[in-house]
Amino acid sequence: MRIGVTVFPGSNCDRDAMHAVERAGATPVELWHADPELKGVDAVVVPGGFSYGDYLRPGAIARFAKVMGPLEEFAKSGGPVLGVCNGFQVLLEAHLLPGALLRNTGMRFVSRRARTRVEKADTPWTALYGEGEEITLPVAHNEGNYYADEGTIRELEEEGRIVLRYLDNPNGSANDIAGICNEARNVVGLMPHPERVSDPALGSEEGLRVFESVLAAAGAKV
Amino acid sequence: MSIQETYASLGLSDYEYDRILELMGRAPNYLELSLFSVMWSEHCGYKNSRPLLRRFPNTGPRVLQGPGENAGVIEVGEGWALAFKMESHNHPSAVEPYEGAATGVGGIIRDVIAMGARPVALLNALRFGPLDDERNRYLFREVVRGIGGYGNAIGVPTVGGEVEFSPAYSGNPLVNAMCVGIIRADEVVRAKAEAGEGNLVVLFGAKTGRDGIHGATFASDELTEESEAKRSNVQVGDPFAGKMLIECSLRLLERNLLVALQDLGAAGIASSASEMAARGEVGIEIDAEKVPLREEGMEAWEVVISESQERMLAVVEPEKADEVLKVCERYELDAAVVGRVTSHGELRVLDNGEPIGSVPAQYLADAPVYEREVQRPSYLDEAQRFDPDDLPLPDDYNEVLLRMLAHPSLCSRASVYEQYDSEVGSDTVVRPGADAAVMRIKGTKLGFAVTADVSGRHCYLDPRGGGAAAVAEAYRNLSCVGAEPVAITDCLNFGSPEKPDGYYGLSECVDGMAEACEVLGTPVVSGNVSLFNETERGAIYPTPAVGMVGVFEDVSRHATPGFKREGDMVVVLGGIPRWPREGHPLSGSSYLEVIEGKVAGRPIVPDLAAEKEAADLVRTMIRSGLIDTAHDVSEGGTLVAFAEMALAGGIGFDFAAREIERFADDKRHLQEILLGEKGATFVVTVPQNRWPELQEALSGANIGYDDTGYTGGDRFVVPGLIDLSLEDLRRARERDLFEQHAPEGGHLG
């Protein structure tokens, strides 16, 4: 299986995402922002970082990069897409997911381990977790405070689209939201970084199943 | 403005101007004078410190590159090497803390890139005045934001650091940043413009504007009220451009497109080009009008000394120039051929073909050297006059421990390091909060550890002993995570060398550090000197910062300070120091400062042989897998070390009653054991069934040890003296250093 990892100017978790993809047993493929093609990959990860320096708003400029056209089509046709941290912000700006991410309520960058609960295992990126399973993931962000209007939040809750929830909310997110998916459930955005805990050499593999899940989901389809 | 006023305003002395006249055989014009002013500043020319720096050892079996390049390089194994350096950004941070700190980080990252290495770890060493002063709080908050703002965005993890507060740094904070990069040993790049004549000089990165004109000279002046008015001198950083510069530089090197590479720092193009020319013994001509500019109306001399950030200068073979420009375009960076290598040995600046300044590069590289008389300052006798026997005995150890843990210089640093991304890159094995950061090298079992240690208070009370102590502490910190210490980079932060006190402190500290480096086998491979750290209130403490790097053959064999299991034996072990000892463990201690409000007495003079013996033994036991929990005893003594280990592991501690009973009649001795700082001491734990193995490991060595207690439960108990819950300890220690009001104990005296 080939998993694409987008690289915008200022992306800085792209190499980490590729490493996690490799550890999960898939082949990582670099998707350069200026090339309007997905190179026939089976899934796409939009990694974290500070695309375009976070200028204007995090993700606001990346959303117009050439690679985004085919990526949006891929997402709309059901292809598995995962946005992590800044990648989550990009997917929100591209309207592939609803809502916005605001400054953390503490008004500081927050870098620490956050305890979270996997709420839904029916997405291609969480299939190998148990629903209700608690995992500890790193967070590292300035703007991770998930916000949406009341109607949208209600919709997300009712449709079971909150995929990951904080047990100790580090940033003021509405309803402790750490990750959501789209209506079709193939597009997932996560604020925490599963790719950083995907290698036993670093003391934890709690995030690896995110990447293994998409392999399993693809296998099930074939 | 008279000539005299002009060169004085550029920071040149009468003597220096006369020497320029003599060298040049004519009067220099303003551009040439500017070149001398920046290249002969302390920051670039080391004119006050060069004779002292020669005392440092700088070779060793793993050293691939010592001082003189953009960064030092050591070998790890399997063809891997590490490039690293530490540098100060004190003066810019004093006037514009966010940008000063951010550009400090950017600058040190570029030094590492210039060696061809990928930056993989950042550290910092910080000093501020007490937090009950609003300006100090502002400087602290903004410096931390600046470090995070740059480091987080550029995608290099900030894995360690050090911060303390003392009135000695009010108005003159210290901001030292360190970067470690990884590279293949046979791919180290050097900044020599060799293979000379006919090669082209390419400038790439951000556009050039009027930033930091004369910043290097500014950094070598004392801070006065007028410095505030020099604000426009401080450069502005753009981590986004910095990130593109990393990727672009590495791509250019990977494709073998460059002959030499040099970062642009103090004094911009002029200084980088003259350094490249001097090292390569060639000349360089710069066409000022070809430099991509951000603003209009810049004079040619401004263009060549501008300190705009995020730029690099490369020497390129003519046939590869187009390819270089194309790669830069891919990374959306400006790039232009701005000059060429020649044989005339001069740094020559042309404006549309007209020479507007020309100086032999050797003259610029050859700053005058000042050797000054070393004179013991009068304050030392006064400061060292302190009799530990006059010290009151604590009546409540509970209160002593809680107050110490809550003190801004000893409490948890989480509120600082949680603002730094410490994991981007996915190589961080041990995150901030331990004795040293531990990093792996992907695809291998190899790893490295890195620590930054500073000993200002100790150096103030005993500059030579303090210099040695800073190196010894770094050696302990690396050893107790299990790494083999290899080499150091340093940042020497001192007051004015033109005052006898200042020069004495510098000279003595260097001697102490040099001796420690010699005995411990950790040569100095790179560094930086920051002098004139003075305000109207006087000089800072003599403050050497030591950044030490160590290596692992198998990074999975490392230790951390937190207690791991219930029921482990807690063992204090230490090198047996020479007797009679010099100094006293309670003199100059954290206890004395925090509880008694005094910075006085002569601290223990480090016994370097004992330091080495104990540290090497701890490392051996970690490598063999016998222990996985270790912590060195430093600020705050053993009591604070026990508490830190208990809190890090979330497991309580019971001190053995017999240990206390032993000293029932000698309360002074007990105070010294629990709160003194004598160096060469560690706390380790071992499961009870492996206690015989530990004794066996310790038996052959010249080591003293005591099994002082057991881990377990959720209380911290020293029979008859302390009985506190871990929650009490946590509440005291885990404080937010950025809280609105000055933390209690933020100010002392």
Q: What is the mean pLDDT of the segment spanning B598-608? A: 96
Reply yes or no on whether the pLDDT at B218 is more than 60: no
| Chain A nearest-CA residue for B150 | A53
Shortest CA gap A53–chain B (Å): 5
Amino acid identity for residue B244 in this structure: M
CB contacts < 8 A (A, B)? 86
Which residues, listed in sequence order, are joined to residue B491 by a DSSP beta bridge? B528, B545
Reply yes or no on whether the pLDDT at B745 is more than 50: no
Closest CA to B610 of B646, B639, B574, B583: B574
Q: Does A52 sit within 8 Å of B423, measured CB to CB?
A: no
Angstrom distance (rounded) from CA B520 to CA B615:
10
Q: What is the mean pLDDT of the segment spanning B736-747? A: 64
Which of B155, B418, B555 faces A111 most closely, judged by CB atoms?
Answer: B418
B111 membership: H or E segment, kind and range: helix B97-114
Lowest mean pLDDT among A134-138, B234-238, B310-314, B707-711: B234-238
Q: What is the pLDDT of residues B361-402, one digit of tens each?
A: 999 988 999 988 889 998 999 999 999 999 999 999 999 999
Which of A50, A110, A140 faces B423 most closely, judged by CB atoms?
Answer: A140
Residues 6+ apart with CB under 8 A from B608: B468, B472, B515, B516, B519, B520
Q: What angle do CA B617, B623, B627 make, to 5 degrees?
A: 75
State the helix-helix crossing angle for B134-154 and B97-114, rounded to 10 degrees: 40
Residues 6+ apart with CB under 8 A from B431: B159, B422, B423, B437
Reply yes or no on whether the pLDDT at B438 is more than 50: yes
Cβ–Cβ under 8 Å, residues B610 and B642 = no
Query: Does any CB of chain B come closer than 8 Å to the CB of residue A192?
Result: no
Distance of CA A67 to the CA centre of its chain: 17
**More confident call, B225 vs B544:** B544
Cβ–Cβ under 8 Å, residues B491 and B108 = no
pLDDT at B301: 85
Reply yes or no on whether the pLDDT at A222 is more than 60: no
Active site (catalytic) residues of A: 85, 193, 195
To the nearest 10°, the Cα dihedral for B337, B338, B343, B347?
Answer: -160
Cβ–Cβ under 8 Å, residues A211 and A198 = yes
Reply yes or no on whether the pLDDT at A20 is more than 90: yes
CA distances from A127 to A30, A209, A220, B227, B574 (A): 24, 8, 11, 60, 52
Angstrom distance (rounded) from CA A113 to CA A178:
13
To the nearest 10°, the Cα dihedral for B420, B423, B427, B428?
Answer: 70
A3 backbone dihedrals φ, ψ, rounded to 5°: -115, 120
Cβ–Cβ under 8 Å, residues B474 and B449 = no
All structural domains of chain B with their residue ranges: 40-188+417-554, 189-367, 374-411+559-749
Tokens 């980079």, residue located: B489
Q: What is the mean pLDDT of the segment spanning A65-73? A: 97
SS (H, E, C) A11-43: ECCHHHHHHHHHHHCCEEEEEECCCCCCCCCCE
Query: Does any CB of chain B come closer than 8 Å to the CB of residue A93?
Result: no
Reply yes or no on whether the pLDDT at B557 is more than 60: yes
Residue B600, number of CB atoms within 10 A of its CB:
17
Q: Does A50 sit within 8 Å of B240, measured CB to CB?
A: yes
The pLDDT confidence band at residue B231, using thresholds 50, 70 and 90, is: very low
Q: What is the pLDDT of residues B249-284, one digit of tens each?
A: 999 999 999 999 999 977 789 889 988 888 888 999
Residue B317, number of CB atoms within 10 A of its CB:
14
Reply yes or no on whether the pLDDT at B578 is more than 90: no
Q: What is the pLDDT of residues B126-140, one digit of tens each?
A: 999 999 999 999 999
The pLDDT confidence band at residue A209, using thresholds 50, 70 and 90, is: very high
Angstrom distance (rounded) from CA A53 to CA B102:
14
Reply yes or no on whether the pLDDT at B744 is more than 70: no
SS (H, E, C) A75-125: HHCCCCEEEECHHHHHHHHCCCCCCEEECCCCCCCEEEEEEEEECCCCCCC
Q: Does A16 sit within 8 Å of B426, measured CB to CB?
A: yes
The pLDDT confidence band at residue B749, using thresholds 50, 70 and 90, is: very low
Q: What angle do CA A188, A103, B106 make, to 5 degrees?
A: 95
Q: At B542, is the secondary structure helix, strand, or coil?
A: coil
**More confident call, A12 vs B196:** A12
Shortest CA gap B654–chain A (Å): 29
Which pair of structure tokens corresponds to residue B192? 């020599």
Query: Does any CB of chain B come closer than 8 Å to the CB of residue A10?
Result: yes
Q: Tell me the residues of B at the A interface, defined by beta carbons under 8 Å apart.
A: 148-149, 152-155, 238-241, 243-244, 331-332, 414, 417-429, 440, 442, 555-556, 738
Reply yes or no on whether the pLDDT at B194 is more than 70: no
Which of A12, A112, A142 faces B155 most closely, judged by CB atoms?
Answer: A12
Residues 6+ apart with CB under 8 A from B501: B377, B379, B495, B539
Strands (E), B280-353: 283-287, 311-316, 334-342, 346-351
The tally of domains found in chain A comes to: 1
Shortest CA gap B559–chain A (Å): 13
Closest CA to A89 of A134, A52, A121: A52
Q: What is the pLDDT of residues B630-686, one digit of tens each?
A: 999 999 999 999 999 999 999 999 999 888 888 888 999 999 999 999 999 999 999
pLDDT at B741: 53
Cβ–Cβ under 8 Å, residues B572 and B642 = no
**More confident call, B521 vs B298:** B521
Q: Does A16 sit within 8 Å of B424, measured CB to CB?
A: yes
Residue B232, number of CB atoms within 10 A of its CB:
13
The half-sphere exposure of B622 on its side-chain side, counting CA atoms within 13 A, is: 30
Cβ–Cβ under 8 Å, residues B431 and B422 = yes
Reply yes or no on whether the pLDDT at B748 is more than 50: no
B484-493/B524-530 β-pairing = parallel
Q: Does A203 sit within 8 Å of B239, measured CB to CB?
A: no
Shortest CA gap A11–chain B (Å): 8
pLDDT at B226: 59
Query: Does any CB of chain B come closer than 8 Å to the CB of residue A66?
Result: no
Its CATH class, for the domain covering B374-411+559-749, is: alpha beta
Q: What is the length of chain A? A: 222
Shortest CA gap A221–chain B (Å): 31
B682 backbone dihedrals φ, ψ, rounded to 5°: -135, 155
Query: Does any CB of chain B come closer than 8 Å to the CB of residue A166?
Result: no
The pLDDT confidence band at residue B232, using thresholds 50, 70 and 90, is: low
Q: What is the pLDDT of residues B460-513, one digit of tens each?
A: 999 999 999 999 999 999 999 999 999 999 999 999 998 888 899 999 999 999
pLDDT at B215: 57
Which pair of structure tokens corresponds to residue A108? 């500081």
Supply the CATH number for residue A147's domain: 3.40.50.880
Active site (catalytic) residues of B: 43, 89
**Domain span at A23:** 2-221
Reply yes or no on whether the pLDDT at B242 is more than 90: yes
Q: Do B189-367 and B374-411+559-749 agree at the fold level?
A: yes
Closest CA to B347 of B666, B51, B569, B28: B28
Amino acid identity for residue A90 in this structure: V
Q: What is the mean pLDDT of the segment spanning B97-113? A: 96
Query: Does any CB of chain B come closer than 8 Å to the CB of residue A72?
Result: no
Average pLDDT, chain B: 92
Angstrom distance (rounded) from CA B526 to CA B118:
17
Quote the CATH superfamily of domain B189-367: PurM-like C-terminal domain (3.90.650.10)
Average pLDDT, chain A: 96
Query: Does any CB of chain B come closer than 8 Å to the CB of residue A12?
Result: yes
Shortest CA gap A50–chain B (Å): 6
Angstrom distance (rounded) from CA A137 to CA A133:
13
To the nearest 10°, the Cα dihedral for A170, A171, A173, A179?
Answer: -70
Which of A20, A53, A193 faces B153 most closely, judged by CB atoms?
Answer: A53
- The question of ipTM being above 0.85 is answered as yes
Cβ–Cβ under 8 Å, residues B516 and B555 = no
B538-539/B534-535 β-pairing = antiparallel
Which of A19, A55, A138 faces B423 most closely, judged by CB atoms?
Answer: A138
Its CATH architecture, for the domain B40-188+417-554, is 2-Layer Sandwich (3.30)
Angstrom distance (rounded) from CA B156 to CA B243:
9
Strands (E), B580-718: 630-632, 653-655, 681-686, 703-711, 715-718
Q: Does B429 sit within 8 Å of A140, measured CB to CB?
A: no
Reply yes or no on whether the pLDDT at B705 is more than 60: yes
Q: What is the pLDDT of residues B43-83, one digit of tens each?
A: 888 898 999 999 999 999 999 999 988 999 999 999 999 99
